[in-house]
A and B are shown apart, each in its own frame.
Chain A
């Protein structure tokens, strides 16, 4: 049994996610689309906070809301005149997208509602988990250690930096 506050919080989050993701893909101004994406990412961070993964929520806000959305806004302002509308969709294109999305959502929703055995599972007690433990998981080579992916991500980020410099260099 959850407290009333967390249930209300859940409905606020779910409504925000649904409304803002629909607005993100339907608005015709690209800068507004990026702003709605920011709201969706904040709502996702709230989901993580509600799941008691505070570190993950902080990473979500710092990396997505602080990094990626700023990158989007910069590149939108570099490539568009502000306030200009995108061309209206042709009907054929809209129906193609709408039917693909609806078929996918309907198939997954049918699978969820009819086959999911553990969908009625209530939120279990959170296990105590602190940042020190997380750091040890990230840097250990034991069974549940993540040293190899950690190092792989650092190499990936290095490759990304070099790639960004090479691509954006003025010839």
Chain B
């Protein structure tokens, strides 16, 4: 039995589906960020797996994933700073309770 490309794409696809589900159903902003991380992560797996299976001599997918990880880290740090600041002002982090831009 061989490990094929498809066998790595299926877990990644399911991970992306879970991310979409969590992004649409969760109300907590931090939980939404966690779902976003799931989606980003599944995309990273796809880049690496396509790179490794189809072009084993080149490293474009790997470098793309490297930069995607760096950008995801920066984005998460900023988003969490914003969420903590919103919590400090409004005392809640649920998106359906935060409906004013200026307090």
Contacts and interface: CB of A to CB of B under 8 A. Distances in A.
Interface of A: 1-2, 6-7, 10, 13-14, 17-18, 21-22, 24-25, 30, 33-34, 37, 40-41, 44, 47-48, 51-53, 56, 59-60, 63-64, 67-68, 71-72, 75-76, 78-80, 86-87, 89, 93-94, 96-98, 100-102, 104-105, 108-109, 112-113, 116, 118-127, 129, 134, 137-138, 144, 146, 149, 153, 156-157, 160, 163-164, 167-168
A108 B42 CA distance: 13
B11 A167 contact: no
A68 B57 CA distance: 31
A98 B21 CA distance: 6
Contact of B82 (A71, A97, A121, A167): A167
Contacts of A68: 37, 72-73, 76
Which 7 residue pairs across A and B have the least CB separation, nearest first? A25-B22, A97-B24, A97-B25, A119-B6, A101-B21, A105-B17, A160-B74
Contacts of A86: 26-28, 31
A41 B38 CA distance: 8
A33 B34 contact: yes
B52 A52 contact: yes
Contacts of B1: 1-2, 7
B78 A164 contact: yes
Main secondary structure of the interface of A (DSSP, over half): helix
Interface residues of B, number: 71
B21 A37 contact: no
A122 B18 contact: no
A121 B25 contact: no
B101 interface: no
Given A64-B37, A96-B24, A149-B63, 5 more contacts: A79-B87, A98-B21, A105-B16, A112-B6, A116-B5
Given A18-B11, A79-B87, A102-B17, A2 B38 contact: no
A51 to B, nearest CB: 4
Contacts of A94: 25
A10 B53 CA distance: 15
Contacts of A157: 70, 74
